Amino acid sequence: MAGETSWISHYDDRQRETGVFDSFLELGEEGEKEASAVSLDVILPDDLLERILAYLPIASIFRAGCVSKRWHEIVNSGRFLWNLSNVLPQKPWYFMFTSSDEPVGYAFDPVLRKWYNIELPCIGTSNWFIASSCGMVCFMDNDSRSELCICNPITKTYRKLEEPPGLKFSDYSALAISVNRESHFYSVAIVKSKQVPENFFQWDISIHIYNSENTTWVTSLTEVLMGWRGGDESVICNGMLYFLVYSTGGGQPENRHALIAYNMSNRSSQGSLTRSFIPVPCSLTCGRLMNLKEKLVMVGGIGKPDRPDIIKGIGIWLLNDKRWEEIGRMPQKFFQGFGEFDDVFASSGADDLIYIQSYGAPALLIFDMNHKQWKWSQRCPVTKRFPLQLFTGFCFEPRLEIAP
Residues of the chain with pLDDT under 50: 1-2, 6-37, 251-253
How many residues would you count in the chain?
A: 404
pLDDT digits (tens, 9 = 90+) for 104-124: 889 999 999 999 988 888 888
What pLDDT sits at residue 116? 92
pLDDT at 345: 87
The model's pTM: 0.84
Phi and psi of 298, rounded to 5°? Answer: -125, 135
Query: For domain 93-396, is the CATH number 2.60.40.4070?
Result: no
pLDDT of residue 100: 66
Q: How far apart are CA 103 and CA 105, in angstroms?
A: 7
* Cα 140 from Cα 150, distance rounded (Å): 9
DSSP for residue 268: B
Measuring CA to CA, which residue among 254, 269, 257, 358 is closest to residue 314?
A: 358
Per-residue pLDDT at 342: 55
Over residues 299-313, the pLDDT tens digits come to 998 877 777 667 888
Position 60 scores a pLDDT of 86
Q: What is the pLDDT of residue 41?
A: 66
Residues 6+ away with beta carbon under 8 Å from 5: 59, 114, 115, 116, 117
pLDDT at 190: 96
pLDDT at position 343, please? Answer: 63
Got the DSSP string for 353-394? EEEEEETTS--EEEEETTTTEEEEPPPPS----STT---EEE
pLDDT of amino acid 72 = 84
Domain boundaries, the chain: 2-84, 93-396
Per-residue pLDDT at 49: 84
SS3 label, residue 13: helix
**pLDDT at res. 271:** 55
